[in-house]
Amino acid sequence: MYQFTENSDKFISLHDCRATGMQLGDRLVSFIFSDGICIGKKHPRNTYGKTLRTDAAQVDFNLPVGTPDENVTCYVFYEKKNGKAVRRRFTMERLMRRINEKGCPLEFLYAYRGGDSVVYKCELKRKKKSGVRECILVIRTDGTSYRWNELCPQKKV
């Protein structure tokens, strides 16, 4: 389905990329980015000399053992009327339904890596109401695959 697969994030970033689809599989969590992912200017396949987005892309997180909920923790933050924030844990199924069925894209902002885990600070966009909900994803992975077909020179980052 995709022409290129990269297993290193050395020149790839999800910063400001929106996942508009999500899939769960056996030891796999995948996010689909209809507007692409960012490929750095030093990537061997990027001959344009500037960081660009790809066409539609997919990022697969390979999970070491067990179910997605055993390897991925998702917290979504809600603000109460008294100004305090409440953290709610979402199952992967619930997050997938929110993205796929309710049309709420998940925008990846920052990534923090350590050991076999990556922590993503994200925003879950709200479709029916304006605004966003802050979200934290902690993914324990034994490998990540970034897949796309073409770089888009008109999509400068």
What three-state secondary structure class fits 25? strand
Q: Which pTM was predicted? A: 0.94
Least confident interval from 68-77, 123-132, 135-144, 146-155? 123-132
Cβ atoms of 58 and 30 closer than 8 Å? yes
Decide which of 131 and 43 is more confident. 43
Q: Which domain holds residue 54?
A: 4-156
Residue 17 pLDDT exceeds 80 = yes
Q: What domain count does the chain have?
A: 1
Mean pLDDT computed over every residue of the chain: 94
